[in-house]
Amino acid sequence: MAESKNIVKIVFFALVLDLLAFTIPLPLFPRLTAWYLQLDSSPDSLLSKLLWMSRKWRATLLSFSSSAQSSDVGKKEWDVVLLGGAMGSLFSFCQCLISPWLGSLSDKYGRKKILLATMMGNILSALIWIQSTSFASFLLSRLVGGLSEGNVQLSTAIISDVTTPSSRSKSLALVGIAFSICFTLGPSLGAYFASQPLPLPSSSSSSESQLNIYALPATISLVLLLVETLYLAAELPETKGWKKSQDTPEEDEKKETKDSQVKLSAEERLRKLSFVGRLHGLFLLFFSGAEFTLTFLTYDLFQASNAQNGRLLSYIGILSALLQARHVRPSLSRLGELRVASNGILSCVLALSLLSILPLSSIVSSSRISTIVLYTSATCLSYTSATVVTGLTASAASLVDEQQRGKALGGFRSKGQLGRAVGPLLASSIYWVKGPTVAYATLAGCLVVVYGLARTQVDSRKKGKTE
């Protein structure tokens, strides 16, 4: 059992390194885009064409708007922000395509081999970023990174390999804690290192001109990925079939009896897994859209600065990490994964309902009331971030066979990443056409339906236990 806990710790530490490397460039996208525009403002460049498409798309949306939007909506900066969001959607779409393949390969060749192979792709992505002096090369680095990022799903599979059903949910909650920590610290680290000069000799000015303007943050990401790769290669054992290697002959005999019972419900488990996967995709479709437009809202209503938005997002991330450590981990085994997830979805409905009334003049005109409403909503979003994906992932992990665990969890993650790819585009479209009140009310209404779907499964489990 001690070895199992040690493997979970190895996976958690490696995941923190991986997610820090992933989150460092997130706040730099707008400034990176502006820098690429300065380097090549030709109307025939890829970046200029993409910005033109973004501008045309937004203008088309605004032409359908029945309400007067803020005058700031027409600012050129929004095109850059929207393009940054589109790049995030591209990354998620790449994940949607590759996740099932990575899972299947890990079932065939082992978790460690495939994880180390994906790390090579991540390292290549960082190397391309360091040397990218054109938008096309930076886009290539994001494509390579998106098609190589397998750490999260493979970490989930590894933890599921080495834990028992009774301890699995608590261990998988560490994945969510790693996300909360890194999405709080990573962007701040990226912003800090972006403000520092690259430590090159004074005679290397020509070399510096051949590097990305943010080569230092890119180098930090590269170092983190290299450390992670070496650490995994040295410390992580192969976990596919790990439980079988730990079992005694007596335990094997007991498992054979148990497996014969489990096979009887295989069809039911596949049906439930498909349901949980769809629930995951639907939730992220609406939640990721709300998440993406939150900083638009605070800028539109309060002209919030980057620092103010940073404090708001840090509050959400820190509170989410604390909730996962102190509340979610014990609640998963006590209440059940789907019930915890459904509670988080309901919390998101409340958060978006509050955001939908935030633009009302009676609230916006009062600084005190608007701050209370905004941070109450942020608190609800923290609870949502801490519970839903963790609960759904733990539920999915409990429904899969060991032989096809990688493939099943890859398919589960693929549905979620598809939601993340489409969500920001959907939410921003409603936002620009109908305004924030209608946008958040619509998203809240859609999540009420998702909550209802989750509750039907929770209630059916309750009924099954009582019978």
Q: Is 357 exposed, middle or buried (0-12, 13-18, 19+ CB in 10 A)?
A: middle
Backbone angles phi, psi at 41, to 5 degrees: -95, 10
Lowest mean pLDDT among 35-39, 145-149, 442-446: 35-39
- Tell me what the mean pLDDT of segment 315-330 comes to: 90
Residue ranges per structural domain of the chain: 2-40+54-199+206-238+268-466
Residue 184 in this model has a pLDDT that exceeds 70: yes
Residue 53 in this model has a pLDDT that exceeds 70: yes
Lowest mean pLDDT among 163-172, 389-398, 418-427, 434-443: 163-172
The pLDDT > 90 percentage for the chain reads 47
- Tell me what the mean pLDDT of segment 55-59 comes to: 79
Question: For residue 64, what are its two tokens?
Answer: 């359908």
What single letter denotes the amino acid at residue 20?
A: L
- Tell me what the mean pLDDT of segment 56-85 comes to: 65
- Per the CB < 8 A criterion, the answer to whether 432 and 319 are in contact is no
Position with higher pLDDT, 107 vs 466: 107
Quote the CA–CA distance of 344 and 280 in Å, as a whole number: 12
Quote the CA–CA distance of 445 and 352 in Å, as a whole number: 9
User: How much is the pLDDT for 388?
Assistant: 96
Buried b (16+ CB within 10 A) or exposed e, 174-210: bbbbbbbbbbbbbbbbbbebbeeebeeeeeeeeeeee
User: How much is the pLDDT for 445?
Assistant: 97
User: How much is the pLDDT for 244?
Assistant: 56
- Tell me what the mean pLDDT of segment 387-396 comes to: 93
- Tell me what the mean pLDDT of segment 432-444 comes to: 91
- What average pLDDT does the structure give for the chain? 85
- Tell me what the mean pLDDT of segment 232-258 comes to: 67
Residue 142 pLDDT class (50, 70, 90 cuts): very high
Lowest mean pLDDT among 20-34, 175-189, 330-344: 20-34
Q: Which CATH superfamily is domain 2-40+54-199+206-238+268-466 in?
A: MFS general substrate transporter like domains (1.20.1250.20)
Residue 100 pLDDT class (50, 70, 90 cuts): very high
- Tell me what the mean pLDDT of segment 270-286 comes to: 93
